[in-house]
Amino acid sequence: MPTRTARTAWNGTLNEGSGQVELTSSGVGTYEVSFPKRAADDAGGTTSPEELIAAAHSSCYAMQLSALVAQAGGTPQSLDVRADVSLGPDPAGGFRLTGITLTVRGEVDGLDADGFARAAEEAKASCPVSKALTGVEITLDAALEQ
Q: Sheet harboring 75-89: ordered strands across?
A: 75-89, 95-109, 138-144
How far is 49 from 44, CA to CA, in rounded Å?
15
Local structure of 40: helix, strand or coil:
coil
More reliable by pLDDT, 44 or 57: 57
**According to CATH, what is the number of the domain 49-144?**
3.30.300.20
pLDDT at residue 41, rounded to an integer = 85
One-letter amino acid of 127: C
Task: Write the DSSP assignment of 60-96 as a string of letters.
Answer: HHHHHHHHHHHHTT-EEEEEEEEEEEEEEE-TTSSEE
pLDDT at position 146, please? 74
Q: Per the confidence metrics, is the pTM higher than 0.75?
A: yes
| Percentage above 70 pLDDT, the chain | 100
Give the pLDDT confidence of 109-131 residue by residue, as tens digits. 999 999 999 999 999 999 999 99
Does residue 110 come out as left (phi exceeding 0), alpha (psi in the -120 to 50 range) or beta?
left
Distance, in Å, from the CA atom of 71 to the CA atom of 123, rounded to the nearest integer, reads: 12
pLDDT confidence of residue 14: 94
Of 66, 34, 27, the closest CA to residue 51 belongs to: 34
How far are the Cα atoms of 20, 44, 98, 134 from residue 67, in angstroms, in the given order? 34, 36, 28, 21
Mean pLDDT over each residue of the chain, to the nearest integer: 96
Residue spans of the domains in the chain: they are 7-39, 49-144
Strand, coil or helix: 140: strand
